[in-house]
């Protein structure tokens, strides 16, 4: 299936103006914004796992994954952690403010390959944002997949994203949802610790499983090792890699990872193709 391509084919570097229609504070430093085109141009369809370049006017541009619903191309949703100049500028946006957007870019999660088999989603911290469109798509087409399991870990209970949606997912009988936190809190009655012991609770057929893994690189390495020890081939484990990006269209080389340019060959890649490089301490 052809991936959605940047809406402005004429000049893929030219941002299009979008207006903020909703802003939700997820945690102390992380927020979700909904955007709609400020012009009367086309909606933006996207594949789960793709990202956009978001331009805070006068400050700069950053790559941010799309965290919304692929069946709603009229609304673009992003979940952003404020860590520096541009993301802090984006965090100050309110309803009615405008920003520049270009994309969607990159290769997303292997939704087609996942059909007909079991799916294990493992996310850490803000890594739940890039996998949420994949989860939404699987829930919309639930009959196309066998078991679907979600393992999610965050630093503290207050750092958990999409808390209402997590409760909804947990309440479903056709999803196995496991959540853990690194550090306990008085109100927390769930699991404490890393995500890997929770993976061992999951029931899946390793020869017919696609794993979707997103989070800090150390977490992705440990999770991939664990899944491989359960019999899932590296070629069926997919990870999303974050690297410095500038052009996002394969021109500048900032995102080079081995022979791949992650802006167009990724950010989602089979673990088998990056395992050796991810094992190196410094790249
Ligand atoms: C394909 C892709 C998808 C991404 N998706 C998302 C997303 O959905 N949501 C999101 O919040 N971010 C996402 N990011 C990361 C985001 O692009 C960076 O956080 C952003 O570029 C930082 O820019 P800045 O100008 O705000 O910070 P800078 O001024 O560039 O950095 C300020 C400080 O923050 C540190 N820093 C930079 N990035 C991070 C980070 N990711 N985590 C912790 N510290 C960091 C830097 O080392 C520096 O010390 C994605 C990155 C890529 C490549
Ligand atoms: S960001 Fe320029 S080549 Fe990938």
Asked if pLDDT for residue 3 goes beyond 90, the answer is no
Taking only the tens place, the pLDDT of each residue in 52-108 is 999 999 999 999 999 999 999 999 999 999 999 999 999 999 999 999 999 999 999
pLDDT at 13 (0 to 100): 84
- Please tell me the distance between residue 63's alpha carbon and the centre of ligand 1 in angstroms: 8
Taking only the tens place, the pLDDT of each residue in 119-144 is 999 999 999 999 999 999 999 999 99
**How confident is residue 7, by pLDDT bands cut at 50, 70 and 90?**
low
Taking only the tens place, the pLDDT of each residue in 185-228 is 888 999 999 999 999 999 999 999 999 999 999 999 999 999 99
Q: Is 260 in the pocket of ligand 2 (CB under 6 A)?
A: no
Nearest CA to ligand 1 atom 33: 84
**How confident is residue 4, by pLDDT bands cut at 50, 70 and 90?**
low
Q: Is 261 in the pocket of ligand 2 (CB under 6 A)?
A: yes
pTM (predicted TM-score): 0.93
Asked if pLDDT for residue 32 goes beyond 80, the answer is yes
What is the per-residue DSSP string for 3-20?
Answer: PP--S-TT-TT--EEEEE
Closest ligand 2 atom number to CA of residue 261:
4
């Amino acid at each position: 299936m052809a991936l959605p391509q940047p809406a402005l084919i004429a000049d893929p570097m030219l941002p299009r103006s979008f207006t903020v229609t909703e802003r939700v504070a997820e945690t102390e430093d992380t927020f979700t914004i909904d955007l709609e085109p400020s012009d009367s141009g086309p909606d933006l369809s996207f594949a789960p796992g793709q990202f956009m370049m978001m331009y805070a006017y006068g400050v700069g541009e950053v790559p941010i994954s799309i965290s919304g619903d692929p069946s709603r191309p009229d609304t673009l949703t992003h979940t952003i952690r404020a860590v520096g100049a541009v993301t802090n500028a984006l965090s100050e946006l309110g309803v009615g403010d405008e920003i520049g957007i270009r994309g969607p870019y990159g290769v997303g999660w292997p939704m087609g390959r996942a059909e007909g088999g079991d799916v294990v989603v493992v996310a850490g911290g803000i890594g739940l944002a890039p996998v949420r469109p994949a989860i939404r798509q699987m829930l919309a087409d639930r009959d196309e997949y066998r078991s679907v399991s979600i393992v999610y870990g965050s630093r503290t209970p207050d750092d958990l994203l999409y808390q209402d949606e997590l409760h909804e997912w947990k309440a479903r009988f056709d999803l196995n949802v496991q959540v853990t936190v690194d550090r306990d809190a008085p109100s927390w009655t769930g699991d404490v610790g890393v995500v890997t012991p929770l993976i061992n609770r999951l029931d899946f057929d390793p020869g017919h499983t696609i794993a979707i893994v997103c989070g800090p690189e150390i977490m992705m390495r440990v999770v991939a090792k664990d899944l491989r020890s359960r019999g899932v081939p590296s070629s069926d484990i997919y990870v999303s890699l974050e690297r410095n990006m500038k052009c996002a269209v394969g021109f500048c080389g900032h995102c080079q990872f081995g022979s791949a340019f992650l802006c167009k060959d990724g950010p989602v890649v089979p673990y088998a193709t990056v395992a050796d490089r991810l094992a190196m301490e410094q790249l």
